[in-house]
Amino acid sequence: MSSSPTSASASRQSRAPIDAAPTVTSPLTLATGVWKSSDGGITGGVSVVTAAENNVEVRLDNFVTDTAAEASLSLLDQSDDPTDACYSPSFAISTGDISTASQSSYSLGPAASFLSDDPTFLANAVLVAASTDTSCAGTIIATATLTWALPASRTVAVAVDKGTGQGATGKVTLSTGQITSYDVATGDTLDGIAERFGLTNDDVLYLNPTRRTGNSDEVIAGETLNLNQSHR
Q: Is the pLDDT of residue 23 over 80?
A: no
Average pLDDT of the chain, as a whole number: 88
Q: For residue 116, what pLDDT is reported?
A: 86
Q: What is the CATH number of domain 9-148?
A: 2.60.40
Residue of 5, 3, 1 lying closest to 210 (CA atoms): 1
Are 57 and 38 contacting, i.e. CB atoms less than 8 angstroms apart? no
Instruction: Express each pLDDT in 81-136 by its tens digit.
Output: 888 899 989 899 999 999 999 999 999 999 998 998 899 999 999 999 999 888 89
pLDDT band at 215 (very low <50, low <70, confident <90, very high): low
- For residue 229, which phi and psi values (nearest 5 degrees)? -60, -35
pLDDT band at 25 (very low <50, low <70, confident <90, very high): low
Look at the domain 171-231 and name its fold: Membrane-bound Lytic Murein Transglycosylase D; Chain A (3.10.350)
Q: For residue 69, what pLDDT is reported?
A: 83
Q: Beta-strand (E) ranges in 111-190?
A: 122-129, 138-145, 147-148, 171-175, 178-183
Q: For residue 27, what pLDDT is reported?
A: 77
224/219 Cα distance (integer angstroms):
10
43/87 Cα distance (integer angstroms):
20
Please compute the mean of the pLDDT values over residues 21-39 and round it to a whole number: 81
Q: For residue 43, what pLDDT is reported?
A: 97
Q: Is the pLDDT of residue 149 over 70?
A: yes
Q: Is the pLDDT of residue 160 over 50?
A: yes
What global pTM score does this model have? 0.82
pLDDT band at 172 (very low <50, low <70, confident <90, very high): very high
Long-range contacts of 213-216 (CB under 8 A, 24+ apart): 213/13, 214/11, 214/12, 214/13, 214/15, 215/12, 215/13, 215/15, 215/17, 215/18, 216/13, 216/15
Q: For residue 26, what pLDDT is reported?
A: 62
**Ranges of each domain in the chain:** 9-148, 171-231
25/54 Cα distance (integer angstroms):
8
Q: For residue 60, what pLDDT is reported?
A: 98
